[in-house]
Structure 1
């Protein structure tokens, strides 16, 4: 019988490096000499069927990956099919060799190409917008994949029934007691052979998580808080245990690109992690008993303020609905990082959010919850809660990443909330300075596009952007 020979030296070397093993140690485990392993890694000797089976039994290696002849080259083919690069590579063999010998470099080339395509598309849309000479005040349509995902998620109720049902059922079967993280780690180890390890900053300086499927280990950064550490473990469990349910909800989203679907899958995995950490029925009952006191809920479920706030937004199950909250997270500069459940609250498509919102004041009072009722020009009233959030732990002399979250609801729905007591006077806000027509606003940052400025030599208003 003719033995099938496979040359996969770079893949074997990556497996060995991932395990932190020397050539001598691996050669001894495989029952071959170090010099023969060296020849294999340099593609001067083939991998026989016997060696393949030995690799699979000793290191749990995926045989299909080792025997593949260039599946990782498919994204590179897309890159080099671009007219700008057409003719640079005469055939597929060079792409296969690049994908096998330097997969990280190949992945970098693909990411760079995708970023180039996205930037080109965005510039094209911007040129189209300018060509319309202001007939439209906001960028329309799908732009970057992240923008598309945000728009799709913000346009619908922030609730995914299939994921909720799967999370409740799994949590009940887990019987975690008071140690959910320990139970989840035990499930990963027992069902999939995955071990969770925390790595120091100097080993993993730029990543929060990394899954090494060759050594079956999930590495998490020690920068993460205990709450974020738990969420990362829960996300890994959800991606394995609820894969079909996440795919079902993902397929229902009107996304147009594979990049957008990958981003949305991550967002749904985070949603699933929250659903697993705070099961729907139990969390809703606790929220109602605590009158939606977020500090009480975060302590009871051992989660962060941000995680509890995000979970409150998702309590929209048919027949068992909580208060309809919306949420927004921003950074110091006012950049909006994410929104959820924004039905009824004004969404600015032109310029930043109203500077009078208390979310901007939280950076001067970190860690405190600011409660305030706000009123829109059309009379719509909302109750808003704002608080700063701490990002991953920084090293000495490293600037911390701090964001702020705003959680709000219609003021008419806030009667059962603990925050409804002793409210201050309502603050008048607007959708965005460029679209707001409130006169004499000391916080105005931009001139309105709907009214001419009213400044002259004889009078001057309180704002540099006063209008007639």
Structure 2
């Protein structure tokens, strides 16, 4: 699959300012012309692999910073902020936005921080009022396009160690026993009435309900192993500057992210995606994961130099109440809808519990997206009770959907 071009002139310019060198001096060190460096800094030329390597060699520069350092989370994240009614009379178009990012990236970053800190323009809370933690956490996630490179690297390294130790579940249980002095115990559902997992530090046990299926049990063990990435997780939480409640929710998201990085290691997962046409059922079987786990993982594939497709995700109930939404790198306006359109055939997935519902969707602005929806039943509830049902809908720009197994036979 062809790699998309990387524009990150703001990161190069920031590095140059930090070093206190001129464009001519940096260009000489990188063995390129000053005019070419000027174009790169203004995002009029992409950063090539050769230039990326030269930056790393010359300035000990971590290439991952090129993706993480986009001011305000990038053009699409800024566009979503500017869609606030507070700015409706300004009519800021995409061209102006790109000029702003190229010409004053730190100004764009300052605007994004101020807007986020104040809780959003038209929805700005009264002084001293508590902010809704949900939007805070989502902004923190979208700032990174739901891709956390350090957690992926740590999870992948751990997965490689576990892979050498045997079958994943057994290897994780053994690591918890040996390294963390925790035994894994499966208990009857009637004992674990109010919870599906419990960490009993007195007994040194991670207790799991028998109601959890194998994929959920493995994921629970991987989440417990996230203690090995505590430094990386806490650095991200501190950097997000959230209030106490939002920080706790963000930490939970990052813990689950690390668990996915362990159970579905980035490089292996991406190779499987590309080889199978992102076949959801095949990916579930290959990695011993649930449909929901695979769907969430698909929104994270934005590693520099090894990007997957730009999936977004929504989870909603029959009433259209959205409980999760990740735009990822898609920039799709579809994920911003307060309530999913009732004509969207994603709702059909409630009646087709073992099938996926696919659709080519065209939005009011002419943008087209290909969507894949599946009904899921999260674990939980009292034994014998009615389990909640949700639809998880994945989508991506129609232009990227040609390689999908689910899109075969669809006129894109």
- Fold conserved (TM > 0.5)? yes
Aligned position for 1:72: none
Which runs of 5 or more structure 2 residues have no equivalent in the other structure? Answer: 1-85, 90-119
- Secondary structure of 2:240's counterpart equals coil
Aligned position for 1:318: 304
Aligned position for 1:300: 286
Aligned position for 1:357: 344
- Check the 8 A contact 2:357/2:372 in 1, yes or no: yes
- Check the 8 A contact 1:209/1:219 in 2, yes or no: yes
Separation of aligned partners in 1, 2:211 and 2:366: 44
Residue 235, structure 1, aligned to residue 213, structure 2:
no
Aligned position for 1:198: 186
Residue 159, structure 1, aligned to residue 147, structure 2:
yes
The change in CA–CA distance for 1:176 and 1:207 in structure 2 (over 3 A counts) is farther
- Check the 8 A contact 1:369/1:386 in 2, yes or no: yes
- Correspondence 1:385-396 to 2 at 5 A: 385-392=372-379
Aligned position for 1:406: 393
Separation of aligned partners in 1, 2:395 and 2:155: 26
Separation of aligned partners in 2, 1:393 and 1:258: 26
Aligned residues: 290
- Cα distance, 1:173 vs structure 2: 2.0
Match of 1:287 among 273, 296, 305: 273
Q: Per residue, is there more helix in 1 or in 2?
A: 2
The change in CA–CA distance for 1:325 and 1:189 in structure 2 (over 3 A counts) is same
4+ runs deviating over 4 angstroms: 135-138, 347-351, 393-397
Q: Please identify the structure whose Cα radius of gyration is greater.
A: 1
The change in CA–CA distance for 1:229 and 1:138 in structure 2 (over 3 A counts) is farther
Separation of aligned partners in 2, 1:274 and 1:348: 22
Aligned position for 2:10: none
The change in CA–CA distance for 1:138 and 1:371 in structure 2 (over 3 A counts) is farther
Match of 1:381 among 360, 365, 368: 368
Match of 1:174 among 153, 162, 166: 162
Separation of aligned partners in 1, 2:123 and 2:353: 33
- Secondary structure of 1:392's counterpart equals coil
The change in CA–CA distance for 1:330 and 1:178 in structure 2 (over 3 A counts) is farther
Separation of aligned partners in 2, 1:422 and 1:350: 28
The change in CA–CA distance for 1:199 and 1:420 in structure 2 (over 3 A counts) is same
- Check the 8 A contact 2:156/2:261 in 1, yes or no: yes
- Cα distance, 1:346 vs structure 2: 1.7
Which has the higher mean CA deviation after the structures are superposed, 395-404 or 351-360?
Answer: 395-404
Separation of aligned partners in 2, 1:137 and 1:403: 31
Length-normalised TM-score, structure 1: 0.58
Separation of aligned partners in 1, 2:253 and 2:174: 24
The change in CA–CA distance for 1:320 and 1:194 in structure 2 (over 3 A counts) is same
Separation of aligned partners in 2, 1:309 and 1:408: 10
Aligned position for 1:246: 233
Aligned position for 2:212: 224
- Secondary structure of 1:249's counterpart equals helix
CA RMSD of aligned residues (A): 2.4
Match of 1:367 among 351, 354, 358: 354
Match of 2:407 among 406, 420, 428: 420
- Cα distance, 1:284 vs structure 2: 0.5
Match of 1:259 among 204, 225, 245: 245
List per-residue Cα deviations over 1:22-73 (Å, max 9, x = no partner).
xxxxxxxxxxxxxxxxxxxxxxxxxxxxxxxxxxxxxxxxxxxxxxxxxxxx
- Check the 8 A contact 1:373/1:411 in 2, yes or no: yes
The change in CA–CA distance for 1:206 and 1:395 in structure 2 (over 3 A counts) is closer
Separation of aligned partners in 1, 2:366 and 2:223: 41
- Secondary structure of 1:360's counterpart equals helix
Separation of aligned partners in 2, 1:422 and 1:195: 49
The change in CA–CA distance for 1:386 and 1:179 in structure 2 (over 3 A counts) is same
- Secondary structure of 1:333's counterpart equals coil
- Check the 8 A contact 1:137/1:350 in 2, yes or no: no
Residue 213, structure 1, aligned to residue 194, structure 2:
no
- Secondary structure of 1:354's counterpart equals coil
Separation of aligned partners in 2, 1:175 and 1:387: 30
Separation of aligned partners in 2, 1:387 and 1:278: 20
- Check the 8 A contact 2:194/2:382 in 1, yes or no: no
Residue 271, structure 1, aligned to residue 244, structure 2:
no
The change in CA–CA distance for 1:213 and 1:223 in structure 2 (over 3 A counts) is same
Separation of aligned partners in 2, 1:237 and 1:138: 41
